[in-house]
Amino acid sequence: MTDMELYGLRASDFGAGFTWGVATASYQIEGAWNVDGKGPSIWDTFTHRRRWPLPTVRSGENGDVACDFYHRYRDDVTLSWSLGFGAKRFSISWPRVLPMGVGRVNAAGLDFYSRVVDACLENGLDPWITLYHWDLPQALQDRGGWANRDIVGWFSDYARVVAERLGDRVKRWMVFNEPLSFCAGGYLIGAGAPGIFSRQKFLASVHHVNLCQAAAAKVLRDKVANAVVGTTHVTAPVKATGDSARHLRAQRSLDALLNRVYIEPNLGLGYPTNDCGLLRPIERYILSDDERAIQVDFDFIGAQYYTRVSAPPLPIPLVGTLPRRDQDFRRYEINVLGNTTQPEGIYEALERLHSYKRFPSIVVTENGTSVPDDLEGDRVYDVRRIDYYRRHLAQVLRAKGDGMPIDGYFCWSLLDNFEWAEGYVPRFGLVYVDYATQKRVVKDSGYWFKQFLSV
């Protein structure tokens, strides 16, 4: 590709120490859902049941096979390296390591992740591990899941098991992937596993997850020499739909619900209950020592950005986050999930995190889009995805130039994969996956990154 096709962007503009990587998640790519001693996860349960009158997943599909990464990991890791990336972010499946969530360790599961780590290192890729990317052991959900305070101990024990096995080679760790998505999505609006509609369980899960942030970070630092520990949050700038007092209150309320409730308690700032009435009963779950136990100084924070959200002055603030299914994704600025491309929003998201003045390093741990990809021979002409990336990268570079400590960027995702309750229709990958044959085809966006990373 010519320099013009790179739109004047070069990876070298971001600095020599900047991390460039691709991200994946265990349930979305691994498959092998019931082999080698793995226990069932809440997503195995969720995708195998129907919720009248519709299936829990739009397409009626599941992640039983997904991208078969469990058997193809060596080739996929090598593929990450071949595109020029220097880091590979992946998550650990808790029930693959601890089938019942606690107790007996499944050696075969730990061995698999050890092999993935070794494959990364052999290919010159720095492994970045996410401890939890939504696939809770079903055995623990049967005991209340994230709504049960005992999960603080369960999760700490799980973190210890993984850290003791992989910490000799892995130094970069993320505790959670997007607490908003699995707390609100799983326990409040039932859109994802475990499919529960409960304000009380949602609030309990939020508080317990925040306690786990600090508890797991302590375990990782205790067990891993020179550990670099962070966590990730979906960062969704909230825009008011008007300038009246009602509109501004709605904006504050939705911002508290989507963003602040997952960040500020760990910084010792408490819960933003004054700005969001839905959050006020969370106080019933806070015990006397929690204010101290919940605080944690992360080495970095992971920012995950896809789009802004609007905050109309409606009784239910979460309504503002829902994508509009009536939007036509064939329009250039609308992706397959109905989200509007708004590259300036990633700058706003990074600026908001930086405003806390508590994060020495900010890493974009997910950013990407799903557009209608068509395989034509052995090529995917995904010019819309290339344009999405170059416009967002320009905003990341702008943030870095304005003095924000932006130290890395991970594409979502390396591969097309199982997109949770949306099934296999949305494709986010730099690499096209033919699910019938498991054939991989690098898209034009993948080749664009290879060229971008070389200059």
- Which are the catalytic amino acids? 178, 366
Give the whole-angstrom CA distance, residue 279 versus residue 217: 25
Give the whole-angstrom CA distance, residue 244 versus residue 229: 41
Give the whole-angstrom CA distance, residue 281 versus residue 203: 8
Which residues contact residue 267 at a Cβ distance below 8 angstroms, ignoring those fewer than 6 apart? Answer: 295, 356, 358
End-to-end distance of the chain based on CA atoms, in angstroms? 11
**Contact call for residues 121 and 169 (beta carbons, < 8 A):** yes
Give the whole-angstrom CA distance, residue 342 versus residue 338: 12
Token pair listed for 298:
């992360």
Residue 31 to residues 43, 57, 119, 413, Cα–Cα distance (Å): 12, 16, 19, 17
Token pair listed for 69:
């990464």
SS3 of 293, please?
A: helix
Tell me, what amino acid is at 143?
Answer: R
What is the enclosing helix (H) or strand (E) of 174? Answer: strand 172-177
Give the whole-angstrom CA distance, residue 169 versus residue 113: 12
Token pair listed for 216:
């797991």
